[in-house]
Homo-oligomer: A and B are copies of this chain.
Amino acid sequence: MGRRVTLADVASAAGVSTATVSYVLNDRQGHSIPEGTRVRVRDAARDLGYTPSSAARTLARGRSDIVLLLVPELPLGHVLVGIMEGLTRGCARLGLQLLARLPLPGEDLERLCREIMPAAVIVLLDPDPRPLARIRDLGVPVTQWGAGPSAPGDDSEKVPVPTDAVGRLQAGTLVTHGHTRLAFLEPADAALRPLVEGRFAGVDRYCAERGLEPPVRLRVERAGASSRTLRRCVDDGVTGLCVYNDDLALSVLAAAHAAKLSIPGSIAVIGVDDIPAGQWTDPPLTTIAFELDTISARILNHVVRALGLPAPALDSAGEPELVVRMRGSVG
């Protein structure tokens, strides 16, 4: 198991003091250290297999290099996992460690942050904002990828989840394919409220701007859409259905089958998320996909700015975060 290789070991191997090693390995400015010495230090570190102790560094610096990712208690679809992957990779490039935590209900997040002193906190979706404020008071920058309205003051720390844009894109896709009377189908789940509202608003405004009839708003109380709801929809003259997400859209497809309604003949359906199962349905599900790399880059840019890192901004400004995957359920 062997004793740990410390800075001091590297220092004596390289014939310098620990301070010098620290300066070299951290690339600190303001210290003239000739290249020859730098090389000796780096070689020694490599040869000895030196790995810094994050605990010691944290203690000395007052903040760790952990970026704490608070993930929601919802099942983590492939969208969230994809974003996590992008964030993990991006943090690694910045010399930070992305570690994810599923906050437990009733847990004291501020305390958690006092314990581990993360360099930054990234929050996915919209938890209770009050603990976040207290984390900020600790001096830890909090970046939120969320849908709710920005609280006053944290505008700069919130990367918006596209919601309005999703709704517009759904509606636009349907309208482009000739549908003029739309409906919006949403789950009842309270946790999803901010997302639901945003997406509906997008559909609603899109219709308003084009002078179309306002969309019919439908809510599914539990486990999937019913054939009844669907049939009523069709009877009302709705021909295009924007569904909150692909999971729910799958249930719509099933209900349509059961009700002998053809898709997209009787009614066109578009979901959100681009889940794999959507490729296997009959017809394959047309959907809105999130561009995961673009989204994680935007989140990381906020973190970089908040930490004042001299990092090459991952440029993601111009790229789209959403794309339409045309498959077969929209005509």
Contact = CB atoms under 8 A, between A and B. Distances in A.
A58 B73 CA distance: 29
Interface in A33-76: 51-56, 58-59, 64, 66, 73, 75-76
Interface string A253-270: 011011000000000000
A280 B250 contact: yes
Given A64-B55, A280-B250, A281-B254, A104 B92 contact: yes
Contact of A78 (B56, B75, B281): B75
A3 to B, nearest CB: 11
A13 interface: no
A279 B224 contact: yes
Interface stretch (A18-26, A81-89, A161-169): A81-89
24 contacts: A1-B138, A1-B139, A4-B114, A53-B115, A53-B117, A54-B116, A55-B55, A55-B58, A59-B59, A75-B77, A75-B276, A84-B102, A92-B104, A97-B115, A98-B101, A98-B102, A100-B101, A223-B280, A224-B280, A247-B276, A250-B277, A250-B280, A250-B281, A258-B282
Contact of A56 (B59, B250, B281): B59
A117 B112 CA distance: 18
A99 interface: yes
A72 to B, nearest CB: 10
Interface of A: 1, 4, 51-56, 58-59, 64, 66, 73, 75-78, 80-81, 84-85, 88-89, 92, 97-102, 104, 107, 111-112, 114-117, 137-139, 223-225, 247, 250-251, 254-255, 257-258, 276-277, 279-282
A94 to B, nearest CB: 13
Contacts of A1: 137-139
A104 B77 contact: no
With most chain B CB atoms within 10 A of its CB, the pick from A64, A101, A257, A277 is A277
